[in-house]
Chains A and B, each alone.
Chain A
Amino acid sequence: MKAKFKRPRTLRDTPTHYCSGCGHGIVHRLIAEIVDELEIREKTIGIAPVGCAVLAYDYWDFDCSEAAHGRALAVATGIKRCRPDCIVFSYQGDGDLSAIGTAETIHTANRGENLTCIFVNNGVYGMTGGQMAPTTLIGQKTVTTPLGRDPQRGEGYPLYILEMLSVLKGVVYAERVCVSTPSDVLATKKAIKEAFINQLENKGFSIVEVLSPCPTIWRMKPPQAVRWIKEEMVKVFPLGRVK
């Protein structure tokens, strides 16, 4: 019998540390598939964030580095400038990329660094137990917004990173996707692949935002979390190409 579906060469046989129903595993796998398809495993360098995906390098079979919280794109810049022959990407959550790392995100994009940025947005800080993120929806309850996020209480509004970055000349590609249904997963793969191909073609800064479920922190069952993205999250963060 012929195997139709197997582990990508670039995805290591590691037991997952992610919660059931988490979106990270899917995105990790898609990156591994793309690296295989583009035949770039020998020259790919990944930068793991601080957050749930801090151990991303345990899953990928290529060179990786950690980075301090929020500084993945600064580290990526240092690597890519020294090794322009390598394919360098950062993998960051919403806390890492859109809160503590906002300055690095904006300025790396504005310099037009030839990098690929995978931004996994689940609207909360997962690793630390579910605090409010800049991307938390209005009304959404978290550990630090027990009454639901309320702009009137000074808790701010959901932050639109892709829309903010899209006005910068250094950004060549920005797309928001999700991993709720098989067709969403395929669209995500297509977007991430484009972001990698842009780097191979020296086009500049590409960012893909993946709306990703976090059933544990959202206090939902995995199917419910997946539906919540399609029903609630996309109303605030519409899917599609921003630039």
Chain B
Amino acid sequence: MRRGKKPQGRHKILITGNDAIGKAAILAGCYFYAGYPITPQNELTAYMAKNMLKEKRIFIQAESELSAINMVFGASASGFRAMTSSSSPGISLKQEGISYLAGCQLPAVIVNVMRGGPGLGNIGPSQSDYFQATKGGGHGDYRLIVLAPSSVQESFDLTFLAFDLADKYRNPVMILSDAFLGQMAEPIMLGAKRLCYVKKRWVLGKKERKPNIIRSLLLKEGALEEHNLLLQKKYREIAKKEVRYQTINTKEAEIIFVAYGISFRIAKEAAHLLPMKVGLFRPITLWPFPYEVLQRVSNKKKVFVFELSAGQMLDDVYLSVKDKEKVFFYGRTGGEVFNEKELVNFVLSKR
């Protein structure tokens, strides 16, 4: 197991969201990266190509997203921290591999810099892969840990967490970014991040022990159910321990905004323009979703949900708030982005 390099001191740099994920991955000890070109995440692949070679680690431009995710499967099975990245259509292609990673309990980090869909869509920012990421994009009963940064700083920070959580729970972790966050540059602080390495006894290629087999095929009667129950136990533990979120002024607020990623930034601006007191709620882990906290925070208040989709996280907000009557949704689709004025007008129209 290769160790990550500690960032040198604390200093500020200007960097794009895509590059920040690459930089953090390398600092977090990512030893293997495989990717395939797709806009708007190409900067990340280019960053990895340049810097993984510099670090004498492995970079492969794969022949397809299918191949890339399966190379990551192999690297992870060998015990190394591994990552792949893509954007929406490419992430669809990776779903089979993600299901296999989950089934074989292999850690891996998958970055989705979301763009407009469905189909080939366009390359504008979107949040329309929420269902795919959080509700199981591939086959079988499995869960992905999904982290949603809302700034370049957080793109950097959450990448460290993604590798740690993947190793800790032997589970794939997705970083859900978008074309906006990936392309924009912001100043970030490079700070020392605590890395938690775990001993991996299950890896391939170790000597003097009984053979290790990486498999999700379990044909013996009852064996697959037993395996699934084990996975579900793990998911319950993650749901209990790993919920992350941000709240701003929710206690004194008259209404609550719920948004994640880039939408949260716009919602935050809109909140400043409104005459009433607005509380902001942002899930950082989209799975596990902070259902209970949102239920508590939204208590008897009107809840406004903003997404760059036709309303996907909305379902989880309904599961939290339960009273659909007081939940209002505004979204844009097809790679279009709302501005703060649109949100203000929407809120005022629902008073």
Which residues of A42-67 have CB atoms within 8 Å of chain B's CB atoms? Answer: 42-43, 45, 47, 54-55, 57, 60-67
**Contacting B67 at CB < 8 Å: which of A61, A63, A107?**
A107
Partner of A79, one of B60, B78, B212: B78
Contact B67 A74 (CB under 8 A): yes
CB proximity of B153 to chain A, nearest CB, Å: 31
Q: Mark A57-84, 1 if CB is under 8 A from B, else 0.
A: 1001111111110010011111111110
Question: A99 at the A/B interface (Cβ < 8 Å)?
Answer: no
| Contact status A64-B32, CB under 8 Å | no
Query: Is B66 a contact partner of A71 (Cβ separation < 8 A)?
Result: yes
In A5-43, which residues have CB < 8 Å from any B CB? 42-43
* C-alpha spacing A208/B155, complex, angstroms: 46
Asked if B74 and A75 make an inter-chain contact with CB atoms under 8 angstroms apart, the answer reads yes
Question: Taking CB as reference atom, which chain A residue is nearest B219?
Answer: A55
**B82 sits at the interface (CB 8 A):** yes
Docked Cα-Cα span, A60 to B79, in Å, equals: 21
Q: How far is the CA of A80 from the CA of B72 in the complex (A)?
A: 12
* Chain A residue contacts of B76, Cβ below 8 A: 78
Q: Is A155 an interface residue (CB 8 A)?
A: no
Q: With a CB–CB cut-off of 8 A, which chain A residues contact B205?
A: 43, 45, 63, 79, 83, 85-86
A57, A76, A82: which has the most chain B beta carbons within 10 Å? Answer: A82
A side interface size, CB within 8 A: 34
B96 within 8 A of A: yes
Could you say which of B74, B79, B215 contacts A57, with CB atoms under 8 Å apart?
B215
A11 to nearest B CB, angstroms? Answer: 12
CB nearest neighbor in B for A81: B58
Check B34 against A68 for contact (C-beta < 8 Å).
Answer: no
By beta carbon, the residue of chain B nearest A66 is B215
Closest residue of chain B to A107 (Cβ to Cβ) is: B63
Interface centre among A66, A85, A106 (most CB of B within 10 A): A66
- Annotate B30-70 by CB proximity to A: 1 below 8 A, 0 otherwise: 01101000000000000000000000001010111011101
- Is B73 located at the chain interface by the 8 A CB criterion? yes
What chain A residues lie within 8 Å of B77 (beta carbons)?
A: 65, 75, 78-79
- B185-217 interface code vs A (CB 8 A; 1 in, 0 out): 000000000000000000011111001111111
A103 within 8 A of B: yes
With both chains docked as a complex, state the minimum distance between the C-beta of A209 and any C-beta of chain B, in angstroms. 21
Please report the C-alpha to C-alpha distance between residue A106 and residue B64 in the assembled complex, in whole angstroms.
Answer: 12
User: In whole angstroms, how far apart are the Cα atoms of A107 and B63 in the complex?
Assistant: 7
Question: In the complex, which of the residues B66, B72, B82 has the most CB atoms of chain A within 10 Å of its own CB atom?
Answer: B66
Most A CB within 10 A of own CB, among B63, B100, B204, B217 = B204
Q: How many A-B pairs fall under 8 Å by CB?
A: 124
Question: How distant is A106 from chain B, measured CB to nearest CB, in Å?
Answer: 8
Q: B211 to A68, Cβ gap below 8 A? A: no
Q: Cβ of A150 < 8 Å from any Cβ of B?
A: no
Given contact pairs A63-B213, A66-B217, A68-B97, A78 touches B70 in the complex (Cβ within 8 A): yes
**Cα separation A45 to B211 with both chains bound (whole Å):** 9
Q: Does A194 contact B (CB under 8 A)?
A: no
Residue of A nearest to B63 (CB): A107
Chain A residues lying within 8 Å of B287, measured Cβ to Cβ, are none
| Closest chain B residue to A57, Cβ basis | B213
Known: A66-B214, A68-B100. Is A74-B66 also a contact (CB below 8 A)?
A: yes
Determine which residue in A57, A63, A103 has the highest number of CB atoms from chain B within 10 A of its CB, and name it: A63
Residues B209-264 near A (CB distance < 8 A): 211-217, 219
Tell me if A81 and B60 are in contact (CB < 8 A): yes
Enumerate B3-53 residues with CB–CB distance to A below 8 Å: 31-32, 34
Q: Which of A54, A65, A81 contacts B214 (CB 8 A)?
A: A65
Nearest residue (CB) in A for B71 is A78
| A63 and B74 alpha carbons, distance in the complex (Å) | 13
B147 CB–A CB distance under 8 Å: no
Are B74 and A78 neighbours in the complex by a CB distance under 8 Å? yes
B216 touches A66 (CB 8 A): yes
A54, B74: Cβ atoms under 8 Å? no
In contact, B217 and A74 (Cβ under 8 angstroms): no
> How many Å lie between the Cα of A62 and that of B74 in the bound state?
16
A-B pairs with beta carbons under 8 Å apart, 7 shown: A42-B207, A45-B204, A54-B217, A55-B217, A60-B211, A66-B215, A74-B74
What 10 new A-B contacts, CB under 8 Å, besides A57-B215, A65-B213, A75-B73? A43-B205, A63-B211, A66-B100, A71-B70, A74-B68, A75-B71, A78-B71, A78-B77, A78-B82, A81-B75
The 4 closest A-B pairs by CB, nearest first: A78-B74, A74-B70, A107-B63, A78-B71
